[in-house]
Every structure is written in structure tokens, then in C-alpha cells.
Amino acid sequence: MTETIATRTARPPAATPSLGSVGLFTVLLAAALPLIDFFIVNVALPTIGRDLHASESVLELVVAGYGLAYAVLLVLGGRLGDLFGRRRFFLGGMAAFGVTSLACGLAPSAWTLVAARVAQGASAAAMLPQILATIQAATAGPRRAKAMGLYGATAGLSMVAGQILGGVLVAADIAGTGWRAVFLVNVPVVVVGLLLAARAVPETRSRHPEPVDGPGTVLLTASLLALLAPLTEGRSAGWPLWTCLSLAAFPFLAAAFYAVERRADRQGRTPLVPPSLFALTSLRRGLVMILPFSVGFSGFMFVIAVALQRGAGLGPVRAGLALAPMAVVFFFVSLAGPRLVARYGTRVVTAGALLQGLGIALMALAAWRSWPGLGLVELLPGAVFAGGGQALQLPIIYRVVLSEVEPVRAGVGSGVMMTTQQSALALGVAALGTLFLSLVPGIGMRDALVITLLTQLGCIVVTGLLSLRLPRVIG
């Protein structure tokens, strides 16, 4: 089919882009950076607060500012890559990520750090959609399946490794940098990535690029801000009136966004998020699954970091290393994912949900029985099962979501998927974090942790049930 199209359009075979092994390594390296930076600050926040004399609400903005900018600009980043060239936006976004990471590491005050984090999130939104779009457009067949599996493995591992790395860097206090090292470490990685990308990442773009959908971009941004801003800042601010008004405005803004996008689609223009994209069964069902999975996972990572440091009295290194078995198991099990899917289909995702649920239940039991003596040994059995279960879900869900998306819409499809995931990650920190911190004063940290873990278990059950509706075979 590819050769037929090439013949009809008189394109030489060389016009077909191909992502080689070095190029794949480069984009996966870049994919790890934004996700690591979402979680790396969790264990560094107490040190940042002491050094910069920052209040709890300002510290939450260090996390929320990055997440909000990242979430609201991802779809726009995907569209701009389709329009102007994905390699170009990938290189520009990566360079900006390095510069803003340097700005974070050198920030002289808390508010300067917040501003730098917002800029860092925006640069990540320019870079990340190009990665999945490039994989979709420059690979095919088994190679694409392998690349998507490796992307999912990289994403999941980065989320856990970020928290571990953060604890190690803060404790190491390299050259007296303290918490600043969690941001400065990005700079040499970005330099290496740019050198490799300039040589090994091919240029791809949509064959029929459309101009940016201005009204859709504004309404999507307003919708996500109306939902995520009050949820991330409401608890620390005492739930003032603006948070209630913002949440009340969200459904109306979302409805207006959908109406504008549907009208643009019907008029033959290309909206920011084409409603016709959701006619793809695999994309629609995969996106629905990403929500409970990501909400539960990000909430768990935030809560366990707080509980281990403030409640169990562990330092940042021991708190991070307590999750090391989860990261190690995730990595090795995810490598077997493509073979398991080829043999058993998407029921592997259901099995993964069962394993992850067992792992979280074991962690809750360990917290109940061993508190406050909770650490690596006590969490080990649960971490092993949870890590393996997550590895059988996330990489495969990524493949499912994009399996039917045409290469010309790769930027839009990957932007929609990553926006859904990033919004869910922010929701998880806000929802489960608020639940945990609200329960602590009344029932104590142990019981609050157990209840929060059981709430996450509910998210896992929902994910498992939704997996039964996935197509058995991934296209």
C-alpha cells in the first residue's frame, strides 16, 4: 500500500522517513525527561521549602505550575508539530527544556522557581507529542509495536525512577547544590539528546497541514485550567470562592469546546481535537482506561513519598529506594509485554490489573501491620506485584490508543493521549493527595495511608473492568 501511494504521488522512496535504533533511543531519552521531572520534585519539596522559605501553597505551585502548563499545551504542541515539522519542534522543545531546567536549578526565590517550572512544562508540551507522532509516522509493523512497547516501558519506569532519583540527588548534595541538582541534571542529558537528535531523528509532518484552531485552543486551555487549577490549589488555599466558581464553569467550558470542535469538523476544517478521532474504538476505550490508571498511580506516588518521609521518618534516599523494586520489576516485565500481547492479546492488560491490585493490597496490609516501621523490606512484596502489574498495562494501553490513528494525524492523536494522561496525573495528586492530607489530622497517618491505598485499589478495579472492553487484537 505504501509503494502504491508513493507511485501515485510521484514521491521517491527516500521520502519515506525511517526511525533507526539511534533515533529511537534519542526520542525515548527525551520522553523520559518530562515524566521524571513531574515526580522528581516530590521528595525534594521539603528541602526546597526550607532553602527558599516557601509556604506550602507556593510549594504546591512548583508541582502544579509545571503540570498545568504541560497538560494544557500538549494538544497544541502536537498540532504545531504536524504543521511545521515534528523534528523541528522536537529539537526546539528539547532545547527549551534544557534552558528552563537550568533556570529552575538557578532560581533565587520560590516565585522565580514557580515561573521557571511553568516555562519548563510548556517546553515539555512542545517536545513530547512529537515523540509518539514520529514513532507512528516513521515506523511500521513489528518495529512500531516494539517501539511503542519501549515507549510505554520508558514512561512507566520514568515515573517511578523520578522519585528515586530525586531522593538520591538531594541527599548527595553534589557540589553543594542540594535540591537544585534535581533540575540541573537535565542539562547535560539535553545536550547529549540534541546532538543525537540532529543526526538520527527524521523529519515528519502531516501531508495536509491545517492552520492552528484558535477558538479550540483557547477553550481547551480554559477548560483544563478551570478543572485542574482549583483541584491542585484548593486544599492549600482553603477552598476559596474562586475554586468553586472555577469548578462550576468547567462543564460549560467543556461543552463549548466540544460544540466549536464539532462545528469546525462539519465545515471541513481541522479542529484542534477532531471529534471524528473519537470514532476510533481503540482510541476511545484506551483513553478511558488511562484516566483511572493515571489518577491512582500519581496519587500513590505523591502519598507514599509524604507518608514515608513525614510519617515513617525515612530520609529522601530511603524513601525513594523503597520503591526501587517496583521500578526494576516494571522494566523487566515490560520487555516481555510485546511477546505476551502477540500470544494472549489485550487480556494481558486485565492480568496486569489483577497483579497491580494484589500489590497495592499487600502494601496496604504492610502499612497496617508495620507502621511506622515501613520501608523497603515491608513494601517489597507489594512493590514487586504492583510493578509487574503496571508493566502489563501502561505500555499496552499506549499501543491500543494509537493503533488505528493514521500517520497524518499522529501529532493530534499523541497530543490527545498525553493530555489525557497528564490531566489524570494532576487529578490523582490533587484528589488522592487531598484525601490523604485531610484524613491525617483526624485518624492518623497510618489509617489515612491505608484508606488512600484502598481508594487506589478501586481505581485499579475500574481499569481492570474497562480492559475487558478492549479489542482482543491490537491493529
Q: Residue 187 above 90 pLDDT?
A: yes
Residue owning grid cell 500513590: 300
Q: Give the mean model confidence (pLDDT) for residues 134-160.
A: 79
Q: How far apart are CA 65 and CA 357, in angstroms?
A: 31
C-alpha dihedral over 87, 91, 92, 98, to 10 degrees? 160
Question: Which of 257-261, 365-369, 425-429, 440-444 is least confident?
Answer: 425-429
Peptide bond into 215 cis (omega under 30): no
**pLDDT tens digits for 266-322?**
877 778 788 888 888 888 888 999 999 989 988 888 888 888 888 888 877 788 788
Q: Residue 370 above 80 pLDDT?
A: yes
Residue 386 has a pLDDT of 93
Q: How far apart are CA 21 and CA 169, in angstroms?
A: 30
Residue 12 has a pLDDT of 41
Whole-angstrom CA distances from 383 to 125, 323, 351, 360 are: 30, 7, 16, 8
Q: How far apart are CA 155 and CA 52, in angstroms?
A: 31
Residue 209 has a pLDDT of 63
**147 contacts: CB under 8 Å, gap ≥ 6:** 19, 24, 135, 139
Q: Residue 397 above 70 pLDDT?
A: yes
Residue 7 has a pLDDT of 40
Find the distance separating the first CA and the last CA of the chain, reported in whole Å. 16
Q: How far apart are CA 103 and CA 184, in angstroms?
A: 9
Question: Average pLDDT, whole number, for the chain?
Answer: 84
Q: Residue 97 above 70 pLDDT?
A: yes
Residue 2 has a pLDDT of 40
368 band by pLDDT with thresholds 50, 70 and 90: very high
Helix (H) or strand (E) holding 123: helix 110-138
Residue 331: burial class (beta carbons within 10 Å; 0-12, 13-18, 19+): middle
Q: Give the mean model confidence (pLDDT) for residues 188-210.
A: 84
Whole-angstrom CA distances from 277 to 261, 265, 413 are: 11, 10, 8
Which of 366 and 313 is assigned the larger pLDDT? 366
Contact 76, 212 (CB under 8 A): yes
Compute the C-alpha angle 316/150/82, nearest 5°. 105
pTM for the structure as a whole:
0.79
Residue 199: burial class (beta carbons within 10 Å; 0-12, 13-18, 19+): exposed
Question: Which of 11-20, 343-352, 378-387, 417-426 is least confident?
Answer: 11-20
Which of 237 and 218 is assigned the larger pLDDT? 218
Contact 290, 422 (CB under 8 A): no
